[in-house]
Amino acid sequence: MVSEPENNVENVENQTPEEAKPEWYILKIQVNREDAVKKTLDRRIKLSGLEQYFEQTLVPTETVVEMKNGKRREMKRKLYPGYLLVKMILNDETWFLVRETTGVGDFTGAGGKPLPMTQKDVDRILRTERAADEERPKLEIPYRVGDRVKINDGTFKDIEGEVNKIDELAGRVTVIISIFSRSTPVELEYWQVEKAEV
């Protein structure tokens, strides 16, 4: 005898919004399509008339500053590429609506059953999201500790060295260069160096 496939929301009651409390769930989605999938999901929620079961959809981001061609540019960077957060009441209808949305892979969970996020994780992500809006944005510095760089401005122009320390908030890098055969740390603005040609 062939059994019917089990619904991934087994043991989830079809509660009304008044009886149930919304919880945060993580959705696996197509990378680089987070915003498009969020818009599609929001539109489908509205069209289905199930808004009372959905409180919020969120693509967590942070603001970073990037220098391109000598110009400072602020941009949003996704904290978790390939994931979307949804605060919702999970039941058969809402599970099906989310799962049938183009671009959504699945809920995260164990054994095929969606698991809500812990309050600790939710608080951490939401705090990061708020901090990104309130704080001064971090600079996007394209170097890592250990990278070989060439100084392109200032007293030590054209000298090569190794990145020793990076301060994203101040936008500075410390480079170890050799002066008179001695290793000397030099603190520079990150735009004063460029990757050395190998």
| Domain locations in the chain as residue ranges | 23-139, 148-195
Give the model confidence (pLDDT) of 15-63 as tens digits: 555 567 899 999 999 889 999 999 999 999 999 999 999 999 999 887 7
> Confidence class of residue 191 from pLDDT cuts 50, 70 and 90?
confident
Are 26 and 79 in contact by the 8 Å Cβ rule? The answer is no
Q: What is the number of helices (H) and of strands (E) in the chain?
A: 3, 14
Give the CATH H-level superfamily of domain 23-139: NusG, N-terminal domain (3.30.70.940)
**CATH architecture of structural domain 148-195:** Roll (2.30)
Give the model confidence (pLDDT) of 96-132 as tens digits: 999 999 999 888 887 668 889 888 888 888 777 666 5
> Beta-strand (E) ranges in 15-154?
23-29, 54-58, 61-68, 71-78, 83-88, 104-107, 109-110, 113-114, 138-139, 148-151
Q: Note the pLDDT of residue 192.
A: 85
What share of residues in the chain are helix, strand, coil (percent, to 5)? 25, 40, 40
- pTM for the model stands at 0.59
How do 160-167 and 172-179 pair as beta strands? antiparallel
Alpha carbons 35 and 16: distance in angstroms, whole number: 29
